[in-house]
Amino acid sequence: MANDKKLVEAITSMDVDFAQWYTDVVKKAELCDYASVKGCMVIKPAGYALWENIQHELDRRFKESGVENVYMPMFIPEGLLQKEKDHVEGFAPEVAWVTHGGLEELQERLCVRPTSETLFCDFYAKDIHSYRDLPRVYNQWCSVVRWEKTTRPFLRSREFLWQEGHTAHATAQEAQERTEQMLNVYADFCEEVLAIPVVRGQKTDKEKFAGAKATYTIEALMHDGKALQSGTSHNFGDGFARAFGIQYAAKDNSLQYVHQTSWGLSTRIIGAIIMVHGDDNGLVLPPRIAPTQVVIVPIQQKKEGVLDKAYELKQILSGFKVKVDDSDKSPGWKFSESEMRGVPVRLEIGPKDIAAGQAVLVRRDTHEKITVSLDGIGESVARLLDEMQKDMLEKARKHLQAHTYEAKDFDTFAKIIEEKPGFVKAMWCGCQECEDKIKEMTGATSRCMPFAQEKISENCVCCKKPAVKMVYWGKAY
């Protein structure tokens, strides 16, 4: 039995050291590993399977909303990057440059894409001519490079996977509608598939994307009370179009600039899944995103008929993602391993169960054991997976609610930030000076101005001048 416990004993308790717990889970669950290039990661099969499921589900939702996939080059000429002033200033500290091709120095440096606005704009300037060409609603799945100083697996790495949508529209209204539409696609995906509740809202001007007219975000709260920006959608207005000369002939033959949007979600969402749902035994994966939904563990598998029954059950449960663990490890080790990997349901079947016409189902999230009849086992598993998905969302929602506070004055605000990790709802006057002061004094940043506005008080929590917006504040990854 001691050997069976080694897998979980290697995990630091999240209450002792949350950061170390996170690293332990990522490595022990074999989601990724460190690469020889500092700040980069090797995404292992278990981690990549999660990303494939995320990609599959999001791609389906994108296409239902009229999105088409394309692919742009990974290199951006320096002159092209310089065309939009705010954009290049925002990304300059994180850009990686290619200076040589083979042994020859390049005449112009090439940027390894940190994001692809400039590439899409350059393409759209050549591709869009008439109102008949609009809208252009494109997305690409790719990797990007940002030379981060401090990195953590999934949350912040120098190269990461993501999707980036880039659209062009005839009117400002169409662009705004698409911006909000895609934010809601992200929010619905997080809640319905990942069981992660989010706060939807707009970023302040200080926090918005470089070059954007407005940035919208979904903010999730991790188990340790820190926020994670989990997806963003940007309205560019016609700023990029003017910089790149993206014009079209309108129906009245006048030349007009297009209005653009951009939106993205990355592999950092895997970090959110870990930190929202995980526990001291490892990952806890929501059934709708789990690469394996049910693991069948045969007990006394060398006894006649046990393995045959396990594979018979796998066939019966073929509508789910099922694996039979027929390795020569002990049952206790198999239990620990499936828990570490976050498999939603464990099905135990042994000689006594077969004789009784039953099996034992174990929920990963609550560890509840349920004895069910082999007759109708498909319905039992389906019901349990549905219950688990709903319960995990509800648990995360209760955690969000329990760790969201209100502050009417600065002293209360600062005390909450220091003593109670989570979101703080407080009023703001709209001035960046107050935003800067709050960050300097407390370490908290504005997470978003939620669409669902409330009036906590009449005055700004910082300067006491008349308030214009209620803001979610918090410390973040």
Evaluate whether 414 touches 441 at the Cβ level (below 8 Å): yes
Name the residue among 466, 470, 452, 460 with its Cα closest to residue 198: 452
| pLDDT score, position 446 | 98
For residue range 265-302, list pLDDT tens digits in order. 999 999 999 999 999 999 999 999 999 999 999 999 98
CA distance 350 to 352: 6
Q: What angle do CA 158, 159, 160 make, to 5 degrees?
A: 120
377 contacts 316 by C-beta, under 8 angstroms: yes
Token readout for 188 is: 């619905």
* Cα–Cα distance, 190 to 360 (Å, whole number): 30
> Facing residues of 129 across strands?
none
Given a cut of 50, the residues of the chain with pLDDT beneath it are 1-3
pLDDT number for residue 7? 62
Pair 12, 22: CB distance under 8 Å: no
Q: Is the dihedral of CA 272, 197, 59, 294 positive or negative?
A: positive
Q: Which two tokens stand for residue 369?
A: 């054991």
Q: What is the pLDDT of residue 373?
A: 98
The predicted pLDDT at position 81 comes to 86
Q: Which domains does the chain have, with CATH numbers?
A: 11-277 (3.30.930.10), 294-387 (3.40.50.800), 404-474 (3.30.110.30)
State the Cα–Cα distance between residues 67 and 332, nearest whole angstrom: 47
CB atoms within 10 A of CB 271: 22
Prior bond of 135 cis (ω within 30°): yes
